[in-house]
Amino acid sequence: MTAVTDGWRPRLALASASPRRFALLQQIGVVPDAVVPAAIDETPQRGEKPRALVTRLSREKAKAALKVVRSDPALAGAFLVAADTSVSVGSRILPQTHTVDEAAHCLRLLSGRSHRVYTSVVVVTPGDAFRQRIAEARVRFKRLSESEIEAYLGSGEWRGKAGGYAIQGLAGAFVVKLVGSYSAVVGLPLYETAGLLVGDGFPLHFSWANSV
């Protein structure tokens, strides 16, 4: 599909209910026309490595959301963006935290150590071709005191977050060093996402888009 850029653009659906991913797309001038959360089982398979996990889950999210998008006449010809993020210490994949105990365990594990964040993004074209890229970032936390951990737990920012923290919030003060894509740690690698969209004809209105 060749996109027309004179004020018209194809529609785009986001396969995520994450307000962070929605905001990141807005940051590059893309406002999703629809949000289609993909409810899938995100449990890692036995022996599954972090990179393999995000590769699999982002594609499964895209496939699940695509069924909804293609059944909606209002989204005919829409692009679809799906993503998945994993935080790991070594080969150990940390969970999305839903309880205080889970979050506390993750924060104590990350304290004073380096960890890796993997985010896979999938773009599905109007012709149902799947394009995928993975971004990896290395993050090092300062050594956290018990009072800092307790204060962060009290903030509630850890709820539903991979590894029990949100780098764009209070936990940004824990980061000693970050190598890689900041936006990927937040939940959507913008360089990779923009490259996939532009490469398949989705118009992004900033100067370097045509050279991606």
Catalytic residue numbers read 84
- With residue 56 as reference, give the H or E element that holds it: helix 50-70
- With residue 137 as reference, give the H or E element that holds it: strand 130-141
Cα separation, 164 vs 126, in Å, equals 35
Kindly write down the DSSP assignment for every residue of 113-171, as one continuous string: SEEEEEEEEEEE-TT--EEEEEEEEEEEEPPPPHHHHHHHHHHTTTTT-BTT--TTTGG
Cα separation, 30 vs 187, in Å, equals 16
DSSP 3-state of 33? coil
Cα separation, 180 vs 123, in Å, equals 21
Cα separation, 185 vs 24, in Å, equals 11
Cα separation, 81 vs 196, in Å, equals 10
- Taking the alpha carbons at both ends of the chain, their separation in whole angstroms is 17
Both structure tokens of 206: 């900033």
